[in-house]
Structure 1
Amino acid sequence: MRPATRTGCRVTGCFPLEETLRALDDLVTKGKVRHIGVCNLSAGDLKRGQGITARTHRTRVVSNQVDRVVG
């Protein structure tokens, strides 16, 4: 498990990304959800997640909603 780097609703390091992606893939496989979307992942975490899903042949993350306001 990696150290906690963000708090609140952000990635905390409490759950390994691999475990989370496996659980989300199980929901897609069971027909409970159609797609996987995430919120506020850093570009590095998203890239790492896409690598994990490609390597393990699991459902890919299709969207990342970023909590930023430009302006």
Structure 2
Amino acid sequence: MLREKHRTIRETYAGQTAILGAPMPMSMPPLGRPITVEETAKAAAFLLSDQASGMTGQAVTVCAGQFVA
């Protein structure tokens, strides 16, 4: 089942460009633009800050709504 899902992902994104190693479909994400390196860095900085001290075991996706789990 997982193998089939990986095959579907590979077929979906075949031949498309990548930004920072992540597959990026040619269409724009719901935000209307790709995420910048600075925006990704701000998310990482937040996770390292005292403001995120209550977060444990979370996966944070910074993708402008492009990928929905």
Output the TM-score relative to the length of structure 1.
0.29
Q: Which has the higher strand share?
A: 1
Larger radius of gyration: 2
